[in-house]
Amino acid sequence: MAEHLRHGEEALHRVVASDVLAPVHEHLLGVRAADARHPRLGHHPVGAEERRVIHVDELHRRVGKPAQQRVVLVGVRLRIGADAIQQGSHAGHATTAGRIVPGVQAVQFDLADPQFPASLVDVDEPALPGPDWARVEVLTGGICGSDLHLFSHNTGPSPTLYGNVAFPFLLGHEIAGRVVEAGPDCAVRVGARVAVDPCIPCRARGIDPPCANCARGWTSSCLNLDSRVVSPGRSLGFTQGLGGGWAEQVAAHVSMLHPLPDGVPDRAASLHEPVSIAAHGLLRAPPAEGDPVLVVGAGIIGLATLGALRGLFPSHEVTVLARHEHQATAARACGADHVVRPAPDNAHFAELAELSGSRVVGRRGELMLMPGFPYVVEAVGAPQSVTESLRAVAHHGTVLLLGAAGISEVDLTPVWYKEAALVGSIDHTVDAGSAPGLAGGPSRHSVDRALDVLAAGFLPDEVVVTHEFPLDAYRDAVATAIDRGGANAIKVVFRPCG
């Protein structure tokens, strides 16, 4: 305990590593995020003139942190009070009440180390918030592109969502595991292998009556994701106290649990999350019968979209635009009809034009297809890929935005010039629509559709799961996922208990 107290009283120098942390520095400390970047990413620390002190009670009022977890921020110095100390034994933690609670390991985004914004910590195993919740031993936890936004600024920020995360928070929202404890009202048995939907809408939070969107069945658009009921944070992977996919355990409501088919092995199981993202998006605005589809991006969201198309709309011809050669190889292995590699001068537009029966217009590299592809899926979120998707869509066509794009500069000319529809989509829900493929039955949850896609082999794990890491190698895992070109990485997963 003395050792832990000493560490708790040390000042932990830290600066902002991601725009997601603007709630801490901009909202709480009044420090501009642009002036407080992480030194490892080549930015400068907060200057002395930017520092100010926030009284502990005011801090807790703003972030909703329980009183027993006192944290004082002095400029960018973090002090952990004695009543927040947890004894770091992996066998159990000493709490303020003096009782022993079993401990688990988790990767926490906490800005505690100047060299890396996340830490491997010992935390209490997640308690069940209610009788219809379960505790799940994590067998596989994926690293998502949206996770990497915290470590590398590869898309624009989304400042309107800053209030939807706790701080600090346990990482990982791509989760599959085995139930180790079930509440008395949880219908999923202990020992069952499950895919975990990370969203925590009204039903899971026990909010009754539900919000207007949940009442409509739009649980992916729940209006209470920022309510802080049950836990702060909109979903698993951005909360406190519930565990996460980058942890040994996670807590989930019965409505968040989906039985894993025997045909989906543990190492593939967390792939349900990106495939579900794609399946829900495709059913938000389905492609018309026979329309060729262009998928811009061949990272995991692009390849998951390819798998979802094969499971939902198998007769559609699919072209994939793949940045890296290993991604192109994976796209071919996953069944793409055509794979195109982008060229620096946009010369690949000629190949896209030939495949779509179009011609290329524009000059000096600023090119557009006429007419283009009737249906385009943007699967990256970067400004260049959003612009490319819009320039490739046909008149009166659809661009489905699955990449987590934020504030950025893109060319919106094709939206009005071609009268195209730009459709957004997020998360997972029961989609009332149907599709002709094996996963296309009406009124099914997108996670269940995704599991059908995986069980059918439309997104083979031997192709897309390129790297596996234990939790204690979390820094190497994140670095590998960021360096996708150099490491030939597609999906990097943790195997906490696998």
In a domain, 309, yes or no: yes
Count of all residues that appear for the chain in the document: 498
In a domain, 218, yes or no: no
Whether 29 and 115 map to the same domain: the answer is no
Question: How far, in Å, CA of 251 to CA of 183, rounded?
Answer: 11
Residue carrying the six token digits 């909202």: 27
In a domain, 298, yes or no: yes
pLDDT at 466 over 70: yes
Question: Of 159-163, 166-170, 419-423, which range is least confident?
Answer: 159-163
What pLDDT, on the 0 to 100 scale, is given for residue 147?
A: 87
Please give the distance of CA 205 from its chain centroid, rounded to a whole number. 20
Q: Report pLDDT digits (tens) over 376-400.
A: 999 998 999 999 999 999 999 999 9
Query: pTM surpassing 0.85?
Result: no
Whether 498 and 357 map to the same domain: the answer is no
Range of the domain at 29: 1-85
The candidate with the shortest Cα–Cα distance to 64, out of 27, 96, 98, is: 27
Question: How far, in Å, CA of 395 to CA of 444, rounded?
Answer: 31
Whether 106 and 74 map to the same domain: the answer is no
Whether 154 and 258 map to the same domain: the answer is yes
The CA-based diameter of the chain, rounded to the nearest angstrom, is 73
What pLDDT, on the 0 to 100 scale, is given for residue 233?
A: 86
CATH number for the domain spanning 137: value is 3.90.180.10
- Which residues are CB-contacts of 474 (< 8 A; sequence separation ≥ 6)? 107, 118, 120, 246, 494
Average of per-residue pLDDT across 152-178: 82
In a domain, 439, yes or no: no
Choose between 307 and 43: higher pLDDT. Answer: 307
pLDDT at 33 over 90: no
